[in-house]
Amino acid sequence: MDTSATPALVCSARGCAAPAQWALRWNNPRLHDATRRKTWLACPEHRVTLGDFLNARGFLREVAPTAESPTLDS
């Protein structure tokens, strides 16, 4: 078994184990400075609901395919 392989990116939605294809980059302006970004991962099915949750709170900053998310670079 190859343990050096990069772990699969998995959706952040509760109970979901689907592969993530989207990175939802966000921050809470009450807790984080303006340049800090946290990342939730989303599969196509949960991309809208996770994004709506963050957007309703004013936290969502950007959505990008996981391959283009700078917070996921190794």
* The pLDDT of residue 32 is above 50: yes
Among residues of the chain, what percentage have pLDDT more than 70? Answer: 81
Q: What is the arrangement of strands in the sheet containing 22-26, beginning at the earlier edge strand?
A: 38-42, 22-26, 60-65
Residues 6+ apart with CB under 8 A from 64: 22, 23, 25
Q: Which of 5, 30, 20 is nearest to 50 (CA)?
A: 20
Cα torsion through 7, 5, 63, 13, rounded to 10: -10
Residue-wise pLDDT for 40-67, tens only, equals 999 999 999 999 999 999 999 999 999 8
Pick 72 or 41 by higher pLDDT.
41
